[in-house]
Amino acid sequence: MFNIILSIREEQKYPTEMTQKEIFNKTIMYAIFILFTALTIYPLIWLFYSSFKPLIEIIKNSLALPKKPTFNNYIQAIKIGKLGLYMINSIIYTTVSTTLTIIFSMMTSFAFAKIENRATSFLYNLFLIGLLITIQAILIPLFIVETRAGLTDTYFGVIIAYIAINLPLAVYLGTEYIKKIPNSLIEAAQIEGATYWKIFTSIILPICRPVIVTILILTSFACWNEFILVFILTASDRTRSLPVGIYSFSGPLASEYGMQFAALVIGITPMIILYAIFHKQISKGFASGAIKG
Amino acid sequence: MKKSRRAWIYIGFVAPALFIYLAVIAFPVMSSVLLSFTKYNVYKNTAVWIGLANYIKIFKEPVFWFSVRNNLFVIFVSVFGQIPIGFILAYIIYRKLVKHRNFFQLMVFLPSIISTVIVGILWSSLFSPIGAITKIIQSITKNPDYVMSIMTNKNLAMLPIGFVLLWMYTGTYLIIFLANLQNINPDVIEAAQIDGATNSQILTKVIIPQLYGVIVLTMILAISGSLKSFDLVFAMTGGGPAYYTNLLAIYMYNYSFIYANYGVGSAISTVMVFMCIVLIFMIRFIRSKIESMED
């Protein structure tokens, strides 16, 4: 932040090069960005240091730094809120659903793009309609069917739903990408006697690395942050995920601010770490997934 | 290779995804529409056809119209807040008008990656009487008795939600616009500069026309995203005070999973899908009008 203020000063040293109006515009532009930055950082910093305050300090003065920092909130949140268990469930849902979404969508995309069949245009459009479907439109029948089939409150029931909601975008991105791969590559391999499966695994998948990374990022964020499906399709601690676990802190435990803050920090930290490492790929993934709607 | 053999291979590649998609999306969507015309009995698993009764019921309820109003407010914030601000920020970064661009971009986008439920709870505690915002206002106004009451005010409770929506999603639009700005051929802009075009002419005559497609896309994104938004408001206010911050998705949730009235719940979700389709067609229509006017 200090750097930015300095750099504004440096530019102002040479008023001959800049008109008054330009200086004014620059100041406004920096002000907007600094405002956004402060609005992003301040709540997170406030949350972080507040999570180390005992409840009495939070109620007395919510702005002050902790006088007697304590890990008690974290210990309580993990113990009472069972956040360790929820974290493991979230990891299972995210990794399994993302892996299967990638495999199934790439297989389908390959068939749509490179194996001729009359059904393709109908089936492809069927998947594309899925981009416009809201979760609410499937919630009730899915809940009824899963209840009847005994799939509620199981990992399988959640994972299959997660794969399905992420398939339309993944199939769209995959198909459009594979279409651009020249047919000659596939024909050459076929002359050498390669099967479709062999072509898929040893030619198509390696070329598709960039689009697979995009699908990986979009799907894993969507699964990790998903709330309503897992909230409705699960009923016990055994299968609930982190967002649902954290949500329970805003219900009966709402007045336990310290614990609530600790739970939020636990929920945010993995995302921030991933973002710090992979922010280039993540923002690229979000930009190319913008078709989602 | 024989044609029939190739067809079997095709089926093999498509089957897993298609089966899951049909079972979890296509079939439920259709049965949801059908359910909306019935009275469903949860215990007996029977559905009785009652025509439009569920729709008439919700159209008569003030809560439904409150939810529609709030949903339109969310769409308004997205289309006239997130999208233009996101575009302006992207444009400033693209034209390199400020330093530390990577850092700013990183910061504006950061809220988009946090789970919506977490964002909702975080801001509801910031706005709460013990939260930081109350305390900051207390120390600015030097009035220690000030209590933040905006979240419990039935007329104003949507405003904090609008603010959080801006906070959370503006970065997404920044990223989308920036990626598309960077795809514009720089020679076009250079040519315009050589011809003596001013910066504002370049923006309105060269850059924006190239982005019509993306602008329409972001509006579709914003509308469908706003219509299905649930997590944030559910975690932040739960639809309260009373039902003044209800969204259609929360209204639908309450009917379906609190009152277990699946017929009415399905009718609400069908209305949501219908609104989404109508709004998207409207945007497409406006776009084609603008394009034909320019030609």
Q: Quick one: pLDDT band at residue A253, thresholds 50, 70, 90?
A: low
Element (H, E) at B41: strand B38-41
Establish whether this prediction's ipTM goes over 0.85.
yes
Look up the CATH number of the domain holding residue A138.
1.10.3720.10
Q: Structure pTM?
A: 0.90
Q: Which segments of chain A does DSSP mark as H helices, in order?
A: 2-12, 20-50, 55-60, 72-80, 83-114, 120-129, 136-148, 155-179, 183-191, 196-199, 205-207, 209-225, 228-233, 242-247, 257-288
Residue from the list A40, A126, A136 with its beta carbon closest to the beta carbon of B26: A126
Check whether residue A229 and residue A115 sit in a common domain.
yes
B21-58: pLDDT as tens digits: 999 999 999 999 999 999 998 888 888 999 999 999 99
Check whether residue A179 and residue A281 sit in a common domain.
yes
Mean of pLDDT over chain B = 89
Greater pLDDT, B199 or A194? A194
Q: Is the pLDDT of residue A121 over 80?
A: yes
pLDDT score recorded for residue A16: 53
pLDDT score recorded for residue B1: 61
Place of tokens 């469908």: B224
Q: Is the pLDDT of residue B89 over 70?
A: yes
Picking from A1-10, A233-242, B83-92, which range would have the lowest pLDDT averaged per residue? A1-10
Q: Is residue A156 part of a domain?
A: yes
Contact predicate B37/A220, CB 8 Å: no
Q: CA of B118: which chain A residue's CA is closest?
A: A264
Check whether residue A188 and residue A96 sit in a common domain.
yes
Dig out the tokens for B188 from the structure: 């076009």
Q: Report d(CA A129, CA A138) in Å as an integer.
A: 13
B152-196: pLDDT as tens digits: 788 888 999 999 999 999 999 999 999 999 988 888 888 888 888
A152-171: pLDDT as tens digits: 999 999 999 999 999 999 99
What count of Cα atoms within 13 Å lies in the side-chain half-sphere of residue A238?
7
Q: Is residue A293 part of a domain?
A: no
Q: Does B61 touch chain A (CB under 8 A)?
A: no
Q: Is residue A59 part of a domain?
A: no
Beta bridge pairs of residue B46: B41
Q: Give A120's contacts (C-beta < 8 A, 6+ positions apart).
A: A111, A112
Q: Is residue A56 part of a domain?
A: no
Write down the domain spans for chain B: 60-118+165-294
B92-129: pLDDT as tens digits: 999 888 999 999 999 999 999 999 999 999 998 888 87
A8-27: pLDDT as tens digits: 444 444 545 668 888 888 89
Q: Does A80 touch chain B (CB under 8 A)?
A: no
Q: Report d(CA B68, CA A106) in Å as an integer.
A: 39
| CA B194 remoteness from chain centre | 41
Partners of residue B232 in chain A, C-beta under 8 Å: none
Number of separate domains in chain A: 2
Alpha-carbon gap: A59 to the closest alpha carbon of chain B (Å): 6
Q: What is the 3-state secondary structure (H, E, C) of A186-212?
A: HHHHHHCCCCHHHHHHHHHHHHCHHHH
pLDDT score recorded for residue A291: 57
pLDDT score recorded for residue A92: 97
Q: Does B10 touch chain A (CB under 8 A)?
A: yes
For residue B26, give the nearest of A270, A127, A72 by alpha carbon: A127
Q: Quick one: pLDDT band at residue A231, thresholds 50, 70, 90?
A: very high
Q: Is the pLDDT of residue A292 over 50?
A: no
SS3 A252: coil
The residue type found at B280 is I
Alpha-carbon gap: A106 to the closest alpha carbon of chain B (Å): 9
Interface contact flag, B113 A221, Cβ < 8 Å: yes
Interface contact flag, A160 B20, Cβ < 8 Å: yes
Q: CA of A22: which chain B residue's CA is closest?
A: B97
Q: Quick one: pLDDT band at residue B88, thresholds 50, 70, 90?
A: very high
For residue A46, give the nearest of A285, A261, A271, A291 by alpha carbon: A261
Q: Report d(CA A87, CA A240) in Å as an integer.
A: 9
Contact predicate A158/A92, CB 8 Å: no
Q: Is residue A61 part of a domain?
A: no
User: Residue range A200-219: average pLDDT?
Assistant: 95
Check whether residue A88 and residue A232 sit in a common domain.
yes
Q: Is the pLDDT of residue A207 over 90?
A: yes
Greater pLDDT, A254 or A26? A26
Residues of chain A with pLDDT > 70, as a percent, come to 91
Q: CA of A109: which chain B residue's CA is closest?
A: B14
Q: Report d(CA B89, CA A36) in Å as an integer.
A: 10
Q: Quick one: pLDDT band at residue B234, thresholds 50, 70, 90?
A: very high
Check whether residue A208 and residue A265 sit in a common domain.
yes
pLDDT score recorded for residue B281: 86
The boundaries of the domain holding residue A37 are 2-50
**Domain B60-118+165-294 indexed as CATH 1.10.3720.10:** yes
